[in-house]
Amino acid sequence: MAESTDCHKAQQDFPKVLILKPIPFINLVSEQYFASNKFTFLEAYDSSLPLHQFLSTHSPSIKAILSSVGAPPITADILHLLPEVGLVVTTSVGLNQVDLLECRRRGIKVANAGSIFSDDVADFAVGLLIDVLRKVSASDGYVRKGLWATKGDYPLGSKLGGKRIGIVGLGNIGFAVAKRLEAFRCSISYNSRKRKPHVSYPFYESVCELAANCDVLVICCELTDQTHHMINKEVLSALGKEGVIVNIGRGAIINEEEMVQCLVQGEIAGAGLDVFENEPDVPLELFAMDNVVLSPHVAVFTPESFLRFKGPRGWESGSFLLK
């Protein structure tokens, strides 16, 4: 009993890693899997105290923050309450929820998920695209409603092979999407912050020009001030009436209102969307569209990748610290 008490006291003295919102992979495999002799988790969402009061109470022991998609943003105000924090880790690749300027000013290191989730996100992007083109979800609903027997065959979908694919953001995820689609004999071109010297895909400086020369746009870039609403009515009109858009980046990269208008008016053929501008709220118009496939921001969420996130290449190693 004394040994157990000493162990508990030692854990209480460990540096605290703050979690502002439940993180799916911890719930999936249980917190015990992530037990460490270096730190303990401090779960703000379990407290009845207002967040600012909770942070002020525990601030001396909080040394790091583990942030996930949908959690409160790591703002300058939050960081001001936590003077001992030296590290912010996100479970995503994107860092739009972290005030990077404030972290840099205070010397706080920031780490993202690196390439750990790239394969899963790329798989999901291709899955969304196949679903939209071949009408998998729509035809599933048709069968389940008994309409096959009463109304006959469902309209055929479109072939993926040979499609012209435009990748917006040729980073780890974008490149993984491109390699998968090459296996379907698709032709790949891309837009990115700069030309990638190691790839042979055609590069377009203008997203609008890329869209005009593609059948499909796959959004893989980060959300920044520069990419906010980058995909607007002009870009979607350039993509055209037979064009399809897939978004596994961030919702606000697309001007959602203009995209919905284009879908309603038939100015593009369809969309596969894992992310939305005001999550978890989704435009109601999309619910009635058979040519739109929706998922609740789960492209990275596989148990296998969550377990890798803890492993030798994962966040505990600090191997992907952003300078």
Burial class (CB in 10 A: 0-12, 13-18, 19+), 289: middle
Cα within 13 Å of Cα(21), Cβ side: 11
Burial class (CB in 10 A: 0-12, 13-18, 19+), 180: middle
Instruction: Classify residue 273 by its DSSP letter.
Output: E
Residues forming the active site? 250, 279, 297
Question: Could you report how far apart the first and last alpha carbons of the chain are, in Å?
Answer: 45
Enter the tokens of residue 99. Answer: 């005030």
How far is CA 179 from each of CA 27, 119, 130, 167, rounded to the nearest angstrom?
Answer: 32, 11, 15, 11
Are residues 89 and 288 in contact, defined by beta-carbon separation less than 8 angstroms? no
**Residue ranges of E strands in 68-227:** 87-90, 109-111, 164-168, 187-191, 216-219
Cα–Cα distance between 87 and 110 in angstroms, integer?
6
Cα–Cα distance between 217 and 222 in angstroms, integer?
15
